[in-house]
Chain A
């Protein structure tokens, strides 16, 4: 059947000259096997005709391949921007300046805030002479020498 299939394919491409093309046509019309094969050939030919231009198909395939290779290349060798380090320095500088401004404001606020701590007590210690032993039962007095005005309790 291989020869017949070759003849059918050639006949479909109109490559068979007379009188053999008439013989093949007669067999297609009379022989069911030839008829079935001829229909199959027609279907395949119609399907192939519906395909895109092979050149365009090949261009699409090439485009997909190029994109895939580029993707792999980027993954293996990531692109590093020249400004990455500069952006990092810029980020730190901005944050530091902002933090200093806010910190300085907080310090200024604290310097003008009322102190909540207890008053500092100034204290001195004095050692009295050893020979001074007064009685301790007297009541203390606070007086003003200029007018002998006494204190209030």
Chain B
């Protein structure tokens, strides 16, 4: 009887251990959020004094996890990824951009990566197509603000 008990127990161990490990690995346990990020895309007049359109988005995210905003425009498709890393008492913000132009059915792609050190609460503005566009009265910008995560949210 002891041999049968050990044999069956060993068999169950061989079954249970891989199954539990696979089950646990398949359930992606999220990291706790570390920062609250607000991403506000805006279309403003050239002077910036008038907001023609905006669509605020708010996120809570852990460090190092990219937040992506896809903006679908009339003649372009824009994808902006914002990733926050801790840097001493400040934040290192990394912004990646991919622009695909829609022109006559053909698309051309443009990418860029930028980074900036900021303190919590700083107001950052990202201009995907640059500033001072005198030919167009409208500007697209993405206002970014990073603050420590508020657990009450």
Binding site for B on A (CB under 8 A): 87, 91-92, 94-96, 98-100, 102-104, 106-107, 109-111, 113, 115-117, 119-136, 138-146, 149-153
Contact = CB atoms under 8 A, between A and B. Distances in A.
Contacts of A115: 25, 28-29, 31
- The binding surface of chain A is classed by DSSP as mixed
Given A91-B5, A94-B5, A111-B24, A123 B122 contact: no
Given A96-B12, A120-B65, A126-B71, A142 B126 contact: yes
A69 to B, nearest CB: 31
B42 to A, nearest CB: 10
A124 B12 CA distance: 45
Contacts of B106: none
B69 A106 contact: no
A99 B12 contact: yes
B150 interface: no
B8 A91 contact: yes
Interface string B33-72: 0000001010100000000110101010100111111111
Contacts of B93: 142
Contacts, number: 198
Interface size class of B (residues with CB under 8 A): 35 or more
Interface of B: 1, 4-5, 8-9, 11-13, 15-21, 23-25, 28-31, 39, 41, 43, 52-53, 55, 57, 59, 61, 64-76, 81, 93, 95, 97, 99, 101, 108, 110, 112-116, 118, 122-131, 133, 135-136, 138-140
A117 B43 CA distance: 37
Contacts of A146: 122-123
Contact of B24 (A110, A127, A153): A110
B133 A134 contact: yes
Contacts of A94: 5, 9
Contacts of B129: 134-136, 138, 140
Nearest to A134: B129
A123 B124 contact: no
